[in-house]
Structure 1
Amino acid sequence: MRRIDLAFLILATATLLIGVGMGTWMGLTHNFHFAPVHAHLNLLGWTSLALFGLCYRAYPPLAASRLALPHFALAASGAICFPAGIALSIADLTMEVAKLGALLWTLAVLVFLVALVRLALGERAGLEKRAAPAVAA
Protein backbone atom coordinates (compact mmCIF):
# COMPACT_ATOMS: atom_id res chain seq x y z
CA MET A 1 0.00 0.00 0.00
CA ARG A 2 1.57 3.28 -1.04
CA ARG A 3 0.42 5.45 1.86
CA ILE A 4 -0.45 3.08 4.65
CA ASP A 5 -0.07 5.97 7.08
CA LEU A 6 -2.94 7.80 5.39
CA ALA A 7 -5.05 4.64 5.20
CA PHE A 8 -4.71 4.25 8.98
CA LEU A 9 -5.48 7.94 9.58
CA ILE A 10 -8.53 7.95 7.31
CA LEU A 11 -9.98 4.87 8.99
CA ALA A 12 -9.12 6.33 12.41
CA THR A 13 -11.01 9.52 11.60
CA ALA A 14 -14.01 7.57 10.28
CA THR A 15 -14.22 5.58 13.52
CA LEU A 16 -13.82 8.81 15.49
CA LEU A 17 -16.80 10.27 13.65
CA ILE A 18 -18.88 7.20 14.46
CA GLY A 19 -17.71 7.26 18.09
CA VAL A 20 -18.46 10.97 18.46
CA GLY A 21 -21.88 10.49 16.88
CA MET A 22 -22.60 7.63 19.23
CA GLY A 23 -21.43 9.68 22.23
CA THR A 24 -23.63 12.58 21.17
CA TRP A 25 -26.62 10.25 20.78
CA MET A 26 -26.00 8.74 24.22
CA GLY A 27 -25.75 12.19 25.80
CA LEU A 28 -28.92 13.46 24.14
CA THR A 29 -30.96 10.38 25.05
CA HIS A 30 -29.33 9.75 28.43
CA ASN A 31 -29.01 6.12 27.36
CA PHE A 32 -25.48 4.93 28.11
CA HIS A 33 -26.17 1.23 27.66
CA PHE A 34 -23.74 1.04 24.71
CA ALA A 35 -20.96 3.11 26.33
CA PRO A 36 -18.44 0.24 25.97
CA VAL A 37 -19.01 0.30 22.20
CA HIS A 38 -18.41 4.06 22.14
CA ALA A 39 -15.24 3.62 24.22
CA HIS A 40 -13.84 0.89 21.98
CA LEU A 41 -14.61 2.86 18.82
CA ASN A 42 -12.63 5.76 20.21
CA LEU A 43 -9.80 3.74 21.75
CA LEU A 44 -9.19 1.10 19.08
CA GLY A 45 -10.54 3.08 16.18
CA TRP A 46 -9.41 6.64 16.70
CA THR A 47 -6.51 6.45 19.13
CA SER A 48 -4.78 3.21 18.17
CA LEU A 49 -5.33 3.41 14.42
CA ALA A 50 -4.15 7.03 14.37
CA LEU A 51 -1.04 6.12 16.37
CA PHE A 52 -0.30 3.27 13.98
CA GLY A 53 -0.63 5.68 11.07
CA LEU A 54 1.68 8.21 12.71
CA CYS A 55 4.24 5.48 13.42
CA TYR A 56 4.20 4.43 9.77
CA ARG A 57 4.63 8.08 8.79
CA ALA A 58 7.53 8.57 11.20
CA TYR A 59 9.34 5.41 10.09
CA PRO A 60 9.17 4.95 6.30
CA PRO A 61 11.04 1.60 6.45
CA LEU A 62 8.24 0.36 8.71
CA ALA A 63 5.69 1.37 6.06
CA ALA A 64 7.75 -0.43 3.40
CA SER A 65 7.76 -3.63 5.46
CA ARG A 66 5.98 -6.72 4.19
CA LEU A 67 4.06 -6.71 7.47
CA ALA A 68 2.47 -3.28 6.93
CA LEU A 69 -0.43 -4.43 4.76
CA PRO A 70 -1.31 -7.51 6.88
CA HIS A 71 -1.14 -5.25 9.94
CA PHE A 72 -3.56 -2.79 8.36
CA ALA A 73 -5.95 -5.59 7.36
CA LEU A 74 -5.96 -7.11 10.84
CA ALA A 75 -6.17 -3.77 12.66
CA ALA A 76 -8.95 -2.43 10.42
CA SER A 77 -10.95 -5.64 10.75
CA GLY A 78 -10.45 -5.77 14.51
CA ALA A 79 -11.23 -2.10 15.06
CA ILE A 80 -14.56 -2.53 13.27
CA CYS A 81 -15.45 -6.06 14.34
CA PHE A 82 -14.64 -5.70 18.05
CA PRO A 83 -16.96 -2.73 18.82
CA ALA A 84 -19.68 -4.21 16.60
CA GLY A 85 -19.33 -7.48 18.47
CA ILE A 86 -19.56 -5.70 21.81
CA ALA A 87 -22.79 -4.08 20.62
CA LEU A 88 -24.18 -7.47 19.59
CA SER A 89 -23.16 -8.92 22.94
CA ILE A 90 -24.77 -6.08 24.92
CA ALA A 91 -27.94 -6.61 22.87
CA ASP A 92 -27.82 -10.31 23.90
CA LEU A 93 -27.56 -11.47 20.28
CA THR A 94 -24.13 -13.14 20.16
CA MET A 95 -20.68 -12.94 21.73
CA GLU A 96 -18.91 -14.61 18.81
CA VAL A 97 -18.33 -11.41 16.83
CA ALA A 98 -16.73 -9.75 19.85
CA LYS A 99 -14.48 -12.78 20.32
CA LEU A 100 -13.45 -12.66 16.67
CA GLY A 101 -12.81 -8.92 16.88
CA ALA A 102 -10.69 -9.34 20.00
CA LEU A 103 -8.66 -12.06 18.29
CA LEU A 104 -8.15 -9.94 15.15
CA TRP A 105 -7.10 -6.95 17.26
CA THR A 106 -4.65 -9.04 19.30
CA LEU A 107 -3.10 -10.43 16.11
CA ALA A 108 -2.83 -6.90 14.70
CA VAL A 109 -0.93 -5.72 17.77
CA LEU A 110 1.32 -8.78 17.62
CA VAL A 111 2.13 -8.15 13.93
CA PHE A 112 2.91 -4.51 14.74
CA LEU A 113 5.23 -5.57 17.56
CA VAL A 114 7.05 -7.98 15.24
CA ALA A 115 7.41 -5.25 12.60
CA LEU A 116 8.79 -2.80 15.17
CA VAL A 117 11.27 -5.33 16.54
CA ARG A 118 12.41 -6.22 13.03
CA LEU A 119 12.86 -2.53 12.27
CA ALA A 120 14.82 -1.96 15.48
CA LEU A 121 17.06 -4.96 14.89
CA GLY A 122 17.61 -3.98 11.28
CA GLU A 123 18.53 -0.42 12.22
CA ARG A 124 20.82 -1.67 14.95
CA ALA A 125 22.56 -4.07 12.56
CA GLY A 126 22.92 -1.25 10.04
CA LEU A 127 24.45 1.03 12.66
CA GLU A 128 26.87 -1.65 13.78
CA LYS A 129 28.04 -2.22 10.20
CA ARG A 130 28.60 1.51 9.62
CA ALA A 131 30.26 2.06 12.98
CA ALA A 132 32.65 -0.90 12.87
CA PRO A 133 36.23 0.38 12.81
CA ALA A 134 38.56 -0.78 10.11
CA VAL A 135 41.07 -3.33 11.34
CA ALA A 136 44.64 -2.74 10.23
CA ALA A 137 46.46 -5.85 9.08
Structure 2
Amino acid sequence: MRAAGCVLGRRSADGGVEVAPALRPRGDDWSHPKGKLPPGETPADAARREVREETGMECVLGTSLRAARYRARGRPKEVLYWAAEATEGVFEPNSEVDELRWLPPDEARAQLSHPGNRALLDEALTALQLS
Protein backbone atom coordinates (compact mmCIF):
# COMPACT_ATOMS: atom_id res chain seq x y z
CA MET A 1 0.00 0.00 0.00
CA ARG A 2 1.32 3.45 -0.91
CA ALA A 3 0.39 6.70 0.75
CA ALA A 4 1.60 10.29 0.91
CA GLY A 5 1.49 13.11 3.42
CA CYS A 6 3.08 16.22 4.81
CA VAL A 7 4.60 17.70 7.90
CA LEU A 8 2.51 20.88 7.79
CA GLY A 9 3.96 24.12 9.10
CA ARG A 10 3.38 27.86 8.96
CA ARG A 11 4.73 31.11 10.32
CA SER A 12 2.99 32.26 13.48
CA ALA A 13 1.76 35.83 13.98
CA ASP A 14 4.87 36.64 16.03
CA GLY A 15 7.22 35.37 13.31
CA GLY A 16 7.86 32.00 14.91
CA VAL A 17 6.96 28.59 13.55
CA GLU A 18 3.89 26.46 14.17
CA VAL A 19 3.35 22.84 13.16
CA ALA A 20 -0.04 21.12 12.84
CA PRO A 21 -0.40 17.60 14.25
CA ALA A 22 -3.77 16.01 13.48
CA LEU A 23 -5.83 13.79 15.80
CA ARG A 24 -7.13 10.77 13.92
CA PRO A 25 -10.28 9.23 15.38
CA ARG A 26 -9.63 5.71 14.07
CA GLY A 27 -6.23 5.36 15.67
CA ASP A 28 -6.82 7.85 18.46
CA ASP A 29 -3.34 9.17 17.74
CA TRP A 30 -1.68 12.42 16.78
CA SER A 31 0.14 12.28 13.47
CA HIS A 32 0.88 14.18 10.27
CA PRO A 33 -1.79 14.43 7.55
CA LYS A 34 -1.52 11.52 5.13
CA GLY A 35 -3.54 9.10 3.04
CA LYS A 36 -3.61 6.44 0.35
CA LEU A 37 -2.69 7.04 -3.27
CA PRO A 38 -5.48 6.16 -5.68
CA PRO A 39 -4.41 4.72 -9.05
CA GLY A 40 -3.00 7.36 -11.38
CA GLU A 41 -2.39 10.06 -8.76
CA THR A 42 1.19 11.18 -8.16
CA PRO A 43 2.50 11.07 -4.59
CA ALA A 44 2.94 14.87 -4.54
CA ASP A 45 -0.64 15.45 -5.72
CA ALA A 46 -1.89 12.94 -3.16
CA ALA A 47 0.02 14.68 -0.36
CA ARG A 48 -1.53 18.06 -1.24
CA ARG A 49 -4.99 16.51 -1.59
CA GLU A 50 -4.74 14.72 1.76
CA VAL A 51 -3.66 17.92 3.51
CA ARG A 52 -6.64 19.73 1.95
CA GLU A 53 -9.13 16.96 2.81
CA GLU A 54 -7.91 16.36 6.35
CA THR A 55 -6.98 19.87 7.48
CA GLY A 56 -8.79 22.29 5.15
CA MET A 57 -5.40 23.85 4.32
CA GLU A 58 -3.81 24.55 0.97
CA CYS A 59 -0.07 24.02 1.04
CA VAL A 60 3.13 24.37 -0.92
CA LEU A 61 5.35 21.29 -0.89
CA GLY A 62 8.97 21.76 0.03
CA THR A 63 11.68 19.15 0.39
CA SER A 64 10.75 15.50 0.25
CA LEU A 65 11.42 13.71 3.54
CA ARG A 66 12.27 10.14 4.39
CA ALA A 67 9.62 7.57 3.57
CA ALA A 68 7.95 5.79 6.46
CA ARG A 69 7.69 2.02 6.03
CA TYR A 70 5.67 -0.19 8.35
CA ARG A 71 2.95 -2.83 8.40
CA ALA A 72 -0.70 -1.79 8.52
CA ARG A 73 -3.32 -4.49 8.96
CA GLY A 74 -0.69 -7.09 8.16
CA ARG A 75 0.34 -5.50 4.86
CA PRO A 76 3.45 -3.47 4.04
CA LYS A 77 2.81 0.27 3.79
CA GLU A 78 5.04 3.04 2.48
CA VAL A 79 4.21 6.70 3.13
CA LEU A 80 6.08 9.38 1.17
CA TYR A 81 6.30 12.67 3.08
CA TRP A 82 7.11 16.28 2.27
CA ALA A 83 7.81 19.31 4.38
CA ALA A 84 4.99 21.69 3.49
CA GLU A 85 3.96 25.24 4.29
CA ALA A 86 0.27 26.02 4.78
CA THR A 87 -0.77 29.00 2.66
CA GLU A 88 -4.47 29.36 3.48
CA GLY A 89 -7.50 27.51 4.75
CA VAL A 90 -9.61 26.80 7.80
CA PHE A 91 -9.81 23.51 9.68
CA GLU A 92 -13.17 21.90 10.36
CA PRO A 93 -13.48 18.50 12.07
CA ASN A 94 -14.23 15.76 9.55
CA SER A 95 -14.41 11.98 9.21
CA GLU A 96 -10.61 11.65 9.13
CA VAL A 97 -9.43 14.27 11.64
CA ASP A 98 -11.15 15.28 14.87
CA GLU A 99 -8.76 18.04 15.86
CA LEU A 100 -5.88 20.04 14.41
CA ARG A 101 -3.56 22.02 16.65
CA TRP A 102 -1.10 24.69 15.51
CA LEU A 103 1.76 24.35 17.99
CA PRO A 104 5.36 25.50 18.40
CA PRO A 105 7.75 22.72 17.27
CA ASP A 106 8.61 21.48 20.78
CA GLU A 107 4.94 21.21 21.74
CA ALA A 108 4.09 19.54 18.43
CA ARG A 109 6.91 17.03 18.96
CA ALA A 110 5.50 16.18 22.40
CA GLN A 111 1.95 15.89 20.98
CA LEU A 112 2.88 13.39 18.22
CA SER A 113 2.08 9.81 19.21
CA HIS A 114 4.84 7.91 17.39
CA PRO A 115 8.64 8.34 17.41
CA GLY A 116 8.76 8.13 13.61
CA ASN A 117 6.48 11.16 13.34
CA ARG A 118 8.72 13.11 15.72
CA ALA A 119 11.75 12.27 13.53
CA LEU A 120 9.85 13.48 10.45
CA LEU A 121 9.07 16.74 12.24
CA ASP A 122 12.74 17.28 13.04
CA GLU A 123 13.70 16.54 9.44
CA ALA A 124 11.04 18.92 8.10
CA LEU A 125 12.14 21.77 10.36
CA THR A 126 15.69 21.40 9.09
CA ALA A 127 14.58 21.13 5.45
CA LEU A 128 12.38 24.22 5.64
CA GLN A 129 14.87 26.11 7.80
CA LEU A 130 11.98 27.09 10.04
CA SER A 131 13.59 26.25 13.36
TM-score (norm 1): 0.24
Structure ranking higher on relative contact order (CA contacts 8 Å, 6+ apart)? 2
Higher percent of residues as strand: 2
